[in-house]
Structure 1
Amino acid sequence: MELRDLDLNLLLVLAELVREKSVSKAAENLGMSQPGMSNALNRLRALLGDDLLLRTGRGMQPTPYAERLAEPLNEALRLIHGVVNLEMDFDPARSNRSFTIAMTDIGEIDFLANLMRALERVAPDVSISTVRKGESNLKDELETGAVDLAIGWLPDLNAGMFQRRLTASQYVCAFRKGHALDKGSITLEEFARADHLVVLAPHTGHMMIEHDLGRLGVRRNVKLRIPHFAAVGHILSETDMIAALPGRLVNHSIVPFNLAWAPLPIKLDPIPLNVFWSAKYHRDPANQWLRAMMFDTFSEGAPHVSPDQAVPLP
């Protein structure tokens, strides 16, 4: 007999029947009806050419053939159970694995220092690489394991990926300390009249802010457009330009670049930032550990802007 010719569920039925020596008890243990169990026993008898269980004065008893099958069958079922419940171990203290995380330069500024300090304590030989990926490539690379996690506003990953909210990015207006607008609050007219630095960062939530400003008809005097955030602090600190930036980025930039901030004079929804990972690696212990590290080491601390502080457009 070939395995392809056998319903393997019947082996589980046979093992339970031999163990319980009762059709009703075996059915109860396996969540089957008694007629269903009797039907399964009849199928086994036909397949194996043996009665398997016989009614005697001492109740149902296995035949000699069924008794010979019992021990190797139980061992095979134990092995199968172990395989399907296999849990690989991941010991961060001993691992030298390299993980790859897709994130923007904002993410690097905001998350990586805390994460690397934590790794020094609990996983000294683990290393991290960061990459920038377009969403079309990113989904494939998450599914193949080339990228372990992705962080950001990534709506194209909403289907077919696990995700969990890390934070929401509230935007503020940033400028150098001592700027003419460094007075706690600014009006929409002052915001529009000022010289602006604008970051054009495709495939990031930042583009949603640019879209919302345009949708609301907010006109700005844009003097400089750049493709990334790394230089923003340097530029703002040495000019009179202002910029609409994520509050968490501004929080990290206040001290090193001597910046100040004020709430935006318009009400914009915060941009959600999620952690994404492939369903393929959802139960992978190393991926689970990395996700836990991201959330455990992440801390709030960006300038908090109450919705009441933002003035809606007239």
Structure 2
Amino acid sequence: MDLKDLDLNLLLVFNELYRLRSVSRAGEALGLSQSAVSNALRRLRLALDDELFVRVARGMAPTHYAEELSGSIEQALGALRASLTAPAAFQPATSTRNFTIAMSDIGEIYFLPELMKRLARLAPGVSVSTVRDTTISLRSEMESGQVDLAIGFLPDLRHGFFQRRLFRQRYVCVFRRGHRLATGNFGLKEFKAAERVAIVAAGTGHGTVDATLRRAGLADGPRLSVPHFVAVGHILQSTDMIAVVPQAYAERTLKPFGLVYAPCPVRLPEFVIRQLWHSRNHREPGSQWLRGLISETFSF
């Protein structure tokens, strides 16, 4: 017979009948009436074309065919119970799993150096792949399990996903160390007069900064717009342009590119960096371990 034609609940009845050798006692163990167990046995007999259990002086005795089936059925039910009740614990020290994390280029600059340092010590066989956090495809990739976790400022992704706060951020203005604004005279007038690099990071909340400035009449259009942060340090290093960036990014790029940053004279709302995951990964041990490691390392 084809397995799809069999109600797998009947195997529970088979297992209890084999164990207890009694219709009434099997019903008590399963929380079923005696007639329900008898009906299940009738369906099993039809499906398997065998009597399976026959009446004897002290209850029910299994047929030869039932004896052959009993070991496999008990083993299969035991494996299923173990899988459902106790997910296998994740063993970071011996795991060779690859985790896929969605983050922006800022996220790669800020999170990856320290995260990879921690993994080298705690989980040397674990590897990480990153993908861009563009929300349109990211939602479906997380739903399908292709992406394990997303980290960043992703306001469009919050609904329908679990999330955990890591830290709050503010925007600052960054420019090269020898810039005329580095003298300390940096107010709204100087900000409005400066040429800016605008970062239009699609799918993240950072893309709204330039639109916010223009709606408030605090800035003209940018001199240069780029779709990500990775080139900003190189651009500012050799020009008199400025950029409005998250403080975490500024702190990571000051020394390598000879930059400085100052509080932004334009009032911009702070934002929260979060890790987000789909419900399919909520109780998965490996995902739980990684989320805990990231919170422990980066939350403040």
**TM-score of Structure 1 vs Structure 2, range by shorter chain:** 0.7 to 0.9
Structure 2 CA distance for aligned equivalents of residues 221 and 255 of structure 1: 29
Deviations 1:136-159 (A, max 9, x none): 433444455554433334455446
SS of 1:261 mapped into structure 2 = strand
CA contact (8 A) 1:96 1:126 kept: yes
* AA partner of residue 150 (structure 2): A
Structure 2 counterpart of 1:213:
213
Mapped pair 1:42 → 2:42: no
Which runs of 5 or more residues in structure 1 are unaligned? 301-314
Moved more, 154-163 or 112-121: 154-163
Report how far residue 43 of structure 1 moved. Answer: 0.8
Query: Does the 8 Å CA contact 1:142/1:278 hold for their aligned counterparts?
Result: no
CA distance, structure 2, for counterparts of residue 152 and residue 93 of structure 1? 27
Q: Mapping of 1:138-153 within 5 angstroms?
A: 138-143=138-143, 145-153=145-153
Checking the alignment, whether the CA contact within 8 Å between 1:176 and 1:258 is kept in structure 2 is yes
Aligned to 2:124, the other structure's residue is in SS state: coil
- Could you say what secondary structure the match of 1:218 adopts? coil
Alignment of 1:117-128 (within 5 A): 117-128=117-128
Percent of aligned pairs sharing the same letter = 41
Q: Is the 8 A contact 1:101 1:147 kept in 2?
A: yes
Q: TM-score, normalised by structure 1?
A: 0.69
**Structure 1 range deviating more: 102-111 or 170-179:** 170-179
Note the residue ranges of structure 2 that are not aligned, 5 or more in a row.
Answer: none
Which AA in structure 2 matches 1:253? Answer: T
1:9 aligns with 2:9: yes
Question: How far apart, in 1, do the equivalents of 2:36 and 2:199 lie?
Answer: 68
Which SS does the other structure have where 1:259 is aligned? strand
Counterpart position of 1:266: 267
> Are positions 1:276 and 2:277 aligned together?
yes
Q: Number of residues paired by the alignment?
A: 291
Q: Which residue of 1 aligns with 2:243?
A: 243
Q: What does the per-residue CA deviation read over 1:264-285, in whole Å, with 9 as the maximum and x for residues that have no partner?
A: 5314141544333572x55554
How far off is 1:198 after superposition?
1.5
- Matched-pair contact (CA < 8 Å) for 1:16–1:26: yes
The CA deviation string for residues 202-236 of structure 1, in whole angstroms up to 9 with x for no partner, is 22221122333344343246333333322323444
Letter in 2 for 1:251: E
* Cα distance in 2 between the residues matched to 1:224 and 1:157: 28
CA distance in 1, matches of 2:24, 2:62: 22
Is 117-126 or 164-173 further displaced after alignment? 164-173
Using the TM superposition, give the Cα deviation of residue 104 of structure 1 relative to its aligned residue in structure 2, in angstroms.
1.5
CA distance in 2, matches of 1:5, 1:228: 55
Cα 1:215/1:73, change in 2 over 3 Å:
farther
| CA apart distance, 1:105 | 1.1
Correspondences of 1:105-124 after superposition (within 5 Å): 105-124=105-124
1:79-158 equivalences in 2 (<5 Å): 79-83=76-80, 85-86=82-83, 87=87, 91-132=91-132, 134-143=134-143, 145-154=145-154, 157-158=157-158
Structure 2 residue matching 1:191: 3-state secondary structure:
helix
What is the identity, as a one-letter code, of the residue corresponding to 2:263? A
Partner of 2:196: 196
Question: What CA deviation, in whole Å up to 9, does each residue of 1:274-302 have, x standing for no partner?
Answer: 333572x55554444444443333254xx
| Separation of aligned partners in 2, 1:128 and 1:189 | 45
- Per-residue deviation at 1:18? 6.3
After superposition, give the CA deviation of every residue in 1:150-205 in whole Å (9 maximum; x if it has no partner).
33344554466554444444222333457565588965444333332222222222
Is contact 1:175-1:243 (8 Å) kept?
yes
Query: Which residue number corresponds to residue 295 of structure 2?
Result: 295
1:171 and 1:202 map into 2 onto residues whose CA distance is 17
Equivalent in the alignment of 1:304:
none
Q: Do the aligned partners of residues 157 and 24 (structure 1) sit closer, same or farther apart at CA in structure 2, a change above 3 Å counting?
A: farther
Secondary structure at the aligned position of 2:62 is classed as helix
Letter in 2 for 1:38: Q
Counterpart Cα distance in 1 of 2:221 and 2:198: 10
Q: CA deviation at 1:63?
A: 1.7
State yes or no: 1:171 paired with 2:168: no
Counterparts in 2 of 1:166 and 1:37: CA distance versus 1, 3 Å: farther
Question: Using the alignment, how far apart are the partners of 1:129 and 1:51 within structure 2?
Answer: 53
